[in-house]
């Protein structure tokens, strides 16, 4: 019991319901249940918030947890990284290409150092690059059809290359459908888990099947309007 704490990747609602179930099985009081829940919470702020309230009802505690999560989520959107100012990018000065040096052996035992400048792709001359070349531009040549006048990006030749993409839709509802055991009965039923709900609903036929006692309850209802 004392080792049951909220895991880092576990939702607070899943931890709450599991912790309450264990406390009920031990027959703890409402105040003791609230204490055990706050001890195992991963968030210190949430634990302090619940302890500061005088509520001991499980439904009210769950409502306080839900309100805390909503407020914390909205605040994280509004006040995200407020201390980091937005910096404008610094202008980068364009530099001329620096020459490279290499060593060439002209005679055995004699080493001569030569300066090699960049070579232009357009005119094949040394000392500048293609974007600074003053000569007429070389015609584009497509690498697919080997024709001049366009690049492979704009080639209209029909190719047989086919990209196969397969997608698999994941059904998130499967993760919340579990096998439920009622009062340690050997037969199990299929249930849909709602981690944010404070109550549990069950069909009348299922309750009669497992010999559960069904009591009637009068509930007052209020409506708006004259009729």
Among 65, 83, 46, 53, residue whose Cα is nearest residue 197: 65
pTM, two decimal places? 0.33
CA atoms within 13 A on the CB side of 136: 1
Choose the weakest-confidence range: 39-48, 152-161, 186-195.
Answer: 152-161
pLDDT-derived band at 110 (thresholds 50, 70, 90) equals low
Count Cα atoms within 13 angstroms, Cβ side, for 97. 16
Q: Class assignment of domain 100-154? A: few secondary structures
- Give the model confidence (pLDDT) of 2-23 as tens digits: 777 888 888 888 888 888 888 8
| Strand residues in 14-156 grouped as ranges (E) | 100-107, 110-116
Q: Label residue 187 by pLDDT band (50, 70, 90).
A: confident
Residue 196 DSSP symbol: T
Q: Average pLDDT in the 119-141 region?
A: 80
Instruction: Reply yes or no on whether the pLDDT at 131 is more than 70.
Output: yes
Axis crossing angle, helix 58-78 with helix 44-52, rounded to the nearest 10: 130
Q: Looking at residues 161-181, what average pLDDT do you find?
A: 68
Q: Is 6 exposed, middle or buried (0-12, 13-18, 19+ CB in 10 A)?
A: buried
Q: Would you list the domain boundaries of the chain? A: 12-74, 100-154, 172-209
Query: What is the predicted pLDDT for the residue at 10?
Result: 84
Alpha-helical segments (H) within 28-99 = 30-40, 44-52, 58-78
Distances in whole angstroms, Cα of residue 59 to Cα of each of 41, 66, 82: 17, 11, 36
pLDDT digits over 55-106, tens only? 778 888 888 888 888 888 888 877 765 555 555 555 555 555 555 555 555 5
């Amino acid at each position: 019991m004392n080792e049951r704490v909220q895991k880092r990747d576990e939702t607070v609602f899943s931890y709450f319901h599991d912790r309450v179930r264990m406390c009920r099985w031990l027959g703890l009081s409402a105040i003791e249940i609230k204490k055990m829940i706050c001890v195992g919470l991963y968030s210190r702020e949430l634990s302090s918030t619940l302890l500061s309230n005088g509520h001991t009802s499980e439904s009210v505690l769950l409502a306080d947890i839900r309100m805390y999560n909503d407020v914390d989520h909205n605040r994280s959107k509004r006040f995200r990284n407020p201390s980091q100012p937005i910096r404008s990018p610094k202008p980068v000065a364009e530099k001329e290409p620096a020459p490279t040096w290499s060593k060439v052996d002209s005679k055995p035992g004699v080493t001569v150092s030569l300066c090699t400048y960049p070579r232009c792709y357009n005119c094949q001359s040394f000392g500048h690059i293609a974007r600074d070349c003053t000569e007429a531009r070389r015609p584009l040549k497509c690498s697919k059809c080997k024709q001049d006048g366009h690049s492979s990006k704009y080639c209209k030749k029909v190719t047989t290359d086919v990209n196969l993409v397969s997608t698999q839709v994941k059904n998130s509802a499967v993760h919340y459908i579990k096998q439920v055991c009622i009062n340690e009965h050997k037969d199990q039923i299929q249930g849909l888990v709602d981690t944010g709900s404070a109550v549990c609903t069950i069909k009348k036929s299922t309750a009669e099947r497992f010999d559960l006692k069904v009591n009637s309850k009068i509930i007052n209802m209020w409506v708006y309007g004259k009729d």
